[in-house]
């Protein structure tokens, strides 16, 4: 297992269907006040007012860092980290799942991205894992952040991330969440429908918008085109609405689906993005200055390397720097940045492995 540091995280706590977060300095969960009704809890979770601090979704509530002994084997590293984490709980035997994250591997994945796609700045998809230590490390490594909810924005900002390093990527947002983003200075956000434009015109007319395009993603492990993205036949209507409402189009975004390994999916998506750039020019709009190529990149270098090389070639060919001076290109990798063994979906598997190691 590569890397110099292992971090063991904690559990998730749910109360009345709402995720609460335990204070790091306590081993017992915070309890809802008996006077708070379920309706009040739901209101706080959704963030009824822009100035109100929302309850965040559950995240690992405690962490243990462990330097790896140079002479230890990979199995010994896992065993030592597991035992250290277990000892941090009362009685040394938690009935909760633990999450082991190799922060050295996280660092090497960011370096892999920078080496293969140097012209694309990664914005880590916080939904993949919102752990504080993970976000801090990525922030120190000059990553931006892709946030899909108000809670994710709040979590990232609380760790010192600049609002300018956040893209609010969900194309369908509650009004209160838009207002919250405005109050925090997070202005870059996506849309894919006229209803969203009308909400933005009322709540945050100064926002810098990314038109999210629908993609051909049938080859992806997790297609997203059925949920998100503006189809070609809606582009004219959306441009008409933007200009009527005097909104600011900053660029284009797309997502070829999670687990995409087909470079041709990016070819068509980039061709569509180029067409939208041209459409903005034809309508006399300010030059678009940002291209977001989404996420879905495979995590293993053997698969990612040829895909990254193909994407890099397509970007150079379709968006040459001479024709698009000052163009910012970003992406939203999640599982590529976070090592596969530390994904949230395997938390329980890791926990059971730890318990076996202790026996």
Q: Is 127 a catalytic residue?
A: yes
* Dist CA 179 CA 199 (whole Å): 10
Active-site annotation holder among 105, 107, 123, 127 = 127
Q: Is 32 a catalytic residue?
A: no
In terms of Cβ atoms closer than 10 Å to its own Cβ (0-12, 13-18, 19+), residue 273 is buried
* Dist CA 329 CA 168 (whole Å): 15
Q: Is 202 a catalytic residue?
A: no
Name the β-bridge partners of 5. 67
Q: What angle do CA 203, 204, 210 make, to 5 degrees?
A: 125
Active-site annotation holder among 152, 203, 241, 332 = 332
Pairing of strands 5-9, 328-331: unpaired
Question: What beta strand segments (E) does 36-187 contain?
Answer: 64-67, 99-102, 121-125, 144-147, 166-168
* Dist CA 337 CA 78 (whole Å): 20
Percent of the chain as helix, strand, coil, to the nearest 5: 45, 15, 40
Nearest CA to 108 out of 258, 4, 260, 259 is that of: 4
Task: Note whether 209 and 290 are within 8 A (CB).
Answer: no
Which positions are catalytic? Answer: 127, 255, 332
């Amino acid at each position: 297992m590569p890397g110099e540091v292992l971090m063991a995280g904690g559990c998730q706590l749910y109360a009345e269907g709402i995720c609460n977060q335990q204070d790091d300095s306590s081993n017992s969960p915070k309890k809802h006040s008996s006077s708070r009704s379920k309706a009040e809890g739901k209101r706080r979770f959704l963030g009824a007012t822009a100035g109100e601090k929302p309850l965040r979704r559950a995240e690992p509530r405690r962490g243990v860092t462990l330097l790896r002994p140079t002479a230890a084997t990979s199995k010994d590293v896992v065993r030592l980290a597991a035992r250290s984490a277990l000892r941090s709980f009362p009685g040394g035997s938690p009935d909760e799942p633990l999450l082991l994250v190799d922060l050295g591997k996280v660092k090497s994945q960011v370096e892999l991205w920078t080496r293969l796609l140097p012209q694309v700045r990664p914005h880590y998809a916080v939904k993949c894992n919102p752990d504080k230590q993970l976000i801090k490390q990525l922030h120190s490594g000059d990553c931006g952040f892709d946030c899909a909810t108000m809670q994710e924005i709040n979590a990232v900002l609380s760790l010192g991330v600049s609002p300018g390093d956040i893209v609010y990527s969900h194309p369908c947002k509650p009004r209160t969440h838009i207002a919250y983003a405005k109050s925090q200075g997070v202005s870059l956000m996506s849309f894919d429908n006229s209803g969203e434009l009308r909400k933005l015109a009322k709540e945050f007319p100064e926002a810098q918008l990314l038109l999210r395009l629908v993609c051909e993603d049938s080859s992806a492990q997790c297609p997203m085109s059925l949920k998100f993205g503006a189809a070609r036949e809606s582009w004219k209507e959306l441009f008409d609405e933007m200009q009527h409402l005097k909104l600011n189009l900053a660029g284009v975004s797309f997502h070829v689906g999670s687990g995409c390994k087909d470079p041709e999916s990016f070819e068509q998506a980039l061709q569509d993005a180029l067409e939208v750039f041209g459409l903005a020019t034809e309508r006399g709009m300010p030059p678009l200055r940002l291209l977001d190529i989404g996420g879905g990149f495979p995590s293993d270098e053997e698969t990612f390397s040829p895909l990254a090389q193909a994407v890099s070639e397509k970007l150079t060919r379709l968006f040459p720097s001479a024709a698009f001076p000052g163009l910012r290109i970003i992406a939203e990798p999640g599982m590529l940045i976070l090592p596969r063994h530390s994904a949230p979906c395997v938390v329980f598997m890791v926990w059971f492995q730890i318990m076996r190691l202790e026996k």
